[in-house]
Amino acid sequence: MTPVLEIKGLRKEFKGFGLKNINISLNSGYIMGFIGPNGAGKSTTIKLIMNLLKKDEGEIRIFGMDNIKDEQEVKNRIGFVLDENYFYEELTVEEMKWVLAPVYKAWDEKTFKKYLKDFQLPPKKKIKELSKGMKMKFSLAIALSHNADLFIMDEPTSGLDPLVRSELLDILSEVIQDENKAVFFSTHITSDLDKIADYITMINQGEIILSMPKDDILNNYGLVKGGKELLDRDIRKSFVAIKENQFGFEGLAKDRKQAKKMFGDKVVIEKPTLEDVMLYYVRGNQNV
């Protein structure tokens, strides 16, 4: 099966920061969460996918097509939500829609109306009068109203209250009821992904740290807590990273079962959250 989104050897250099050899592959029917701390390279990657930035090297294929050569065709089938606003502030919601709708071949006015109602977006209100959450909802309504096959969203949940966030997650699970559709979204609110994401790709300092099924992370990794006397050099090496305090240590192990075998009842081992995993990887790198 051709991946819906495939990134190979992507590089982009900036002063003091760069994306180094990014590889990502996503098949249709799945949701991939793209996580990492602020400044890790999430938005840069997404801008490169959308051809809003010029890459230095590498290949980006969407629906099997080149993202630049076939930009028109590719973008018609992408529903995107970007972190920064790209609307005309002086227009009303309805006027802005009249600007955007003709851009898409498969614009679906009925669906758009439905989302306006669901999201309680006032059609006559000017964009600049909308709150941050409202603008996000407007972006979403546009993204969801042209029969896109791939949804690319940069921090769609930031600035939204928990209620709307949960609504969005429902919409995304609804989207992939159709196994020909896929969702790629970045966030630093990892609890959004603990539930519905199928795959997790984690980025830090411009590098992909891991990219795998979420279940494999949550079922295999373990948060190990115990006394500091248990730690020696080899044991330390077996952890992704270790945090120590006066009364003990807490570390992230890649293999929970192995840790259990190694330490037995001398430690407490818990299932990590995605946030735990992200924090340990990011902190671990800083320690080196």
Distance of alpha carbon 199 from alpha carbon 31, whole angstroms: 6
Q: Of 38 and 177, which has the nearer Cβ to another protein?
A: 177
Query: 1: which DSSP letter?
Result: -
Closest contact distance (angstroms) between CB of 141 and another protein is 21
**Least distance in angstroms from the C-beta of 198 to another protein:** 5
Q: Count of residues binding another protein (CB under 8 A)? A: 21
Asked if 131 is part of the footprint of another protein (rule: CB under 8 A), the reply reads: no
Interior angle at CA 84, CA 153 and CA 160, nearest 5? 65
Binding to another protein by residue 189, rule CB under 8 A?
no
Residue (121 or 224) nearer to another protein, CB: 224
For 133-160, letters b (16+ CB in 10 Å) and e give: bbbbbbbbbbbbbbebbbbbbbbbbeeb
CB of 221 to another protein, least distance (A): 12
Confirm or reject binding of residue 219 to another protein (CB under 8 A). yes
108 near 63, Cβ under 8 Å?
Answer: no
Q: Least distance in Å: CB of 171 to another protein?
A: 11
Structure-token pair, residue 272: 């990590």
Distances from the Cα of 42 to the Cαs of 150, 163, 216, in angstroms? 17, 25, 22
Q: Which C-beta is closer to another protein: that of 101 or that of 196?
A: 196
Nearer to another protein, 173 or 258 (CB): 173
276 binds another protein (CB under 8 A): no
- Whichever of 102 and 264 has its CB closer to another protein, that residue is 264
Structure token pair of residue 46: 């997404």
C-alpha to C-alpha distance for 199 and 184, rounded to whole angstroms: 9
Q: Find the shortest distance in angstroms from Cβ 51 to another protein.
A: 29
Residue 32 binds to another protein (criterion: CB under 8 A): no
Binding mask 194-213 for another protein (x = CB under 8 A): xxxxxx-------------x
CA distance 137 to 132: 9
Minimum distance from residue 176 beta carbon to another protein (Å): 7
In three-state secondary structure terms, 207 is: strand
Q: Interface mask (CB under 8 A) for another protein, residues 152-181, using x and -?
A: -----------------x---xx-xx-x--
Segment contacting another protein (CB under 8 A): 24-32, 119-127, 148-156, 203-211?
A: 24-32
* Selection from 248, 240, 241 nearest residue 268 by Cα: 248
DSSP class per residue in 99-157: HHGGG-TT--HHHHHHHHHHTT--TTSBGGGS-HHHHHHHHHHHHTTS--SEEEEESTT
Residues that bind another protein (CB under 8 A): 29-31, 169, 173-174, 176-177, 179, 194-199, 213-215, 218-219, 271
